Amino acid sequence: MRVLGLVSSGRKDGNTNTLVDTILEGAKSKGHVTKKVFLADFKIHPIGDCATCREAGACVIDDDFDKVMNEALEADCIIFGTPVYWWGPSAQLKTFMDRWVCRATFDKNGSSMSKMLGKKYVLAVPHQNKQLSATRLLFAMMEDSLDFLQMVCLSKIQTVAEGRNEASNDQAALRHAFELGARMTEVESMKKPTGSVTFNFANPEQVAEVSTFKWSQPT
């Protein structure tokens, strides 16, 4: 599989990066082709009048969006790494994803079709709040959007971390992140995953529970 890690924090050596890196290392250990992109390295403007491209035949915004979007279109699995910012994703990720409306879909017989159909994804999210519910709205937004695009959630990983790279102290989270990357093929080979596997590390009492995780079985 081609696995694309999107790090959408402004902090290059932050917690999001640690989670994404660890998943990619796991994937690489099993021979997957991996690539990491820091969204903040690219100039990606907010979407404008989204009908313009239909008239002009191409996006009129002159920036780096296509470079990153092409990577997303070529990937089999996308790791969406974002910190929780105000209960949602970072502005970098939201701005990037707003632009997907042009390139991730196409019209066929009057219906909107997805170019992302069947692609796998993982959500990798650090947050400061010790409550697991800190990710509730972010997860809901991402899952509903990506479900709309008919993408398949492999897993969601969250960790409580505030300071720069505090996530590297969360060995349980990193072990699971690595294993998730290493076991992508196993999940991919399932014809129809029944759902995603969620690891919760924010509450230490729950670590034992999640450390015996099992992938959901196909129906």
Ligand X SMILES: Cc1cc2nc3c(=O)[nH]c(=O)nc-3n(C[C@H](O)[C@H](O)[C@H](O)COP(=O)(O)O)c2cc1C
- Binding status of residue 85 toward ligand X by CB under 6 A: yes
Among 24, 84, 173, 177, binds ligand X (CB under 6 A): 84
**Is 204 strand, coil or helix?**
helix
CA distance linking residue 135 with residue 114, whole number of Å: 26
Minimum CB separation from ligand X for residue 149, in Å?
A: 25
- Binding status of residue 69 toward ligand X by CB under 6 A: no
- Binding status of residue 161 toward ligand X by CB under 6 A: yes
Q: What is the DSSP string of 24-70?
A: HHHHHHTT-EEEEEEGGGS--PPP--TTHHHHHSS----SSHHHHHH
The answer to whether 20 touches 51, Cβ cutoff 8 Å, is no
3-state secondary structure 99-157: CHHHHCEEEECCEEEECCCCCEEEEEEEECCCCHHHHHHHHHHHHHHHHHCCCEEEEEE
CA distances from 133 to 8, 150, 204 (A): 21, 25, 15
* Residue with the shortest CB distance to ligand X: 14
Minimum CB separation from ligand X for residue 144, in Å?
A: 19
**Taking contact as CB under 6 A, which single stretch among the options 45-53, 83-91, 147-155, 201-209 is the one that binds ligand X?**
83-91
- Binding status of residue 86 toward ligand X by CB under 6 A: yes
Minimum CB separation from ligand X for residue 122, in Å?
A: 15
Size of the site for ligand X (CB under 6 A): 17
The answer to whether 118 touches 152, Cβ cutoff 8 Å, is yes
Residues 87-106, interacting with ligand X (CB under 6 A): 87
Taking residues 13 to 52 in sequence order and writing x for each that binds ligand X by CB under 6 A, - otherwise, the string is -xxx------------------------------------
* Contact positions vs ligand X (CB under 6 A): 9, 11, 14-16, 83-87, 126-129, 134, 161-162
